[in-house]
A and B are shown apart, each in its own frame.
Chain A
Amino acid sequence: MMIFNKFKLKLVTIVTLAIFLSACQFEISPWATDVNCPASVSVASNLAKLEAFEAQQGPITDYKVALLSDPQMYPGAFEDVIKRINTMDDVSFILLSGDLSESGLKAEIEWTCKAMTKSTKPIFAVIGNHDALGFGQEMWLSVFGPYDFSFTYQDSKFVAYNDNKYEFDNVPDRDWLQAEGAVNAGEVRQNTIAVSHIAPWPHDLELSQNFKDYGFDLTVHGHEHDFNFWQLSDVMLPHYITSFTKFDEYGILTVSGTDLSLENCKGSVCTPADPRTITN
């Protein structure tokens, strides 16, 4: 019996190792850059998906946008939030405001991509400060696409930009933001909404004023791992910060024509959010 048990232990060990070996990867360091993410998470792919959805939907004035951020370190919680958003028929797409990874490492980005692929709605990611660490900037460009991009949905323009000033020089690109905010002749524009990882910091009067001057109606962000919503008294442009997804938290932007309203959500419970006015 003892011999048989020893044989079984050896057999189980060898078979387990063989199966394991066939599954796991030969990786020569944690700092590889060949991220294995599907094309479906790229900005380009999601733009096409949103365009097709809009064409199918036809013109509408009321819709919602889910605002998620900072899924780093908790890909499971992030996936759970995505699955929750999937059940919301009135949400048209998701804005993901950065920090998809903690250290800009390949494995982390891959785990976040896995969660993103579960979204049935278009999902647009902007780069966060943590994503830019190590070789993360290079991987971001190859997986998601450009740091700055914009798109129009139902006559509202969404402008995603990079503002990670410790990791990049000359950001945000204000010339580009100004151009994106401008309404072209003949264009119908209900709203212009900016999205980035970090809100104008710290309570940056100049940048907030710039956005106002450029014609923006709202900016949305992440980074703070908590809800926040403020506007400067001299500018009165609202800046909304959504919480991180670790505790099933997310924001909902409701667009009704030119009316924009925000909600802070935890699980299935959402409460209206109003900006507090900060005196300069």
Chain B
Amino acid sequence: MAPFAYSSEKGVYLDVQSGSLMGLVHASAGYEYTDRHHVMGGLGYVPKLDEHREMGLASIRYRYQNPMQWSFAALDRDWTIKPFNLGIGLLYADHDELFVSLPEQYPDGYYGPTGLRAIFNYQAIVQFDASFEAYLDISVIDFGLAYYIREPDFFYENYDFLGLDGITNWGVGMRYWF
């Protein structure tokens, strides 16, 4: 069974994601600039919740899409799973309590930016026609990965699944290829 080819000759798509640290909703424009390599720029939103302040998010992301694919038929349609995809991105949060440039009250170099973080992620993609695909996203924030590499025993002992439960977050999304 042949896997799907994308319908888009331009390699341009719209991505909408929820969770995995990217906001309740995060919409991005994506571009496959060369085979397997993708870049995206997006805007996200977090509403005011009991456990969250309202804030806007912005991101730029890169994703490497491994060519391995598994195709199968089910429910009267063809499906393709692309199981190995890795990415990295920068996530910016717009809120008065957070900053990228150090506020004037602090001496130079006192803090790093509090409103900017690097996010590492893994995606498992399911393509169900030439224009649409859905994905599961699992992300790790920059310091989470750093602490895990530095002190794996702490996470092994305190969290499940080799300690990865302590540093990972999940989300879902969909893409539409133009």
Contacts and interface: CB of A to CB of B under 8 A. Distances in A.
Interface of A: 6, 10, 13, 17, 19-21, 23-34, 73-77, 79, 102-105, 107-108, 111, 114-115, 130, 133-135, 166
A24 B19 contact: no
Between A13, A75, A76, A114, the greatest number of chain B beta carbons within 10 A of the residue's beta carbon is seen for: A76
A224 B75 CA distance: 63
B98 A21 contact: no
Contact of B167 (A19, A102, A107): A107
17 contacts: A19-B161, A23-B160, A24-B164, A26-B20, A26-B170, A28-B19, A28-B21, A28-B23, A28-B46, A28-B52, A30-B21, A32-B52, A33-B53, A75-B154, A107-B167, A130-B111, A166-B105
Interface string B145-178: 0110011011000101100111111110000000
Contacts of A20: 138, 161, 164, 168, 170
Given A23-B161, A28-B46, A31-B95, A79 B154 contact: yes
B116 to A, nearest CB: 10
B144 interface: yes
B158 to A, nearest CB: 5
B5 interface: no
A30 B46 contact: no
Contacts of B171: 26
B70 A10 contact: yes
B125 to A, nearest CB: 12
A115 B151 CA distance: 13
Nearest to A108: B143
A23 B18 CA distance: 18
Contacts of B55: 29, 31
A128 to B, nearest CB: 12
A45 B150 CA distance: 31
Nearest to A25: B169
A10 B166 CA distance: 25
B97 interface: yes
A241 to B, nearest CB: 18
B124 interface: yes
A76 B151 contact: yes
A222 B8 CA distance: 58
A27 B124 contact: no
Interface in B52-104: 52-53, 55, 57, 70, 83, 91, 93, 95, 97-98
B53 A135 contact: yes
B46 A114 contact: no
Interface string B22-44: 11100000000000000000000
Nearest to A19: B161
Contact of B151 (A29, A75, A134, A135): A75
B169 A26 contact: yes
Contact of B136 (A17, A25, A27, A104): A17
Contacts of A104: 114
Given A29-B21, A30-B21, 19 more contacts: A10-B83, A17-B124, A26-B170, A27-B169, A28-B52, A29-B57, A31-B52, A31-B55, A32-B52, A33-B51, A75-B151, A102-B143, A103-B112, A104-B114, A107-B141, A107-B144, A115-B154, A134-B114, A166-B110
Contacts of A102: 143
Contacts of A13: 83, 124
A103 B143 CA distance: 10
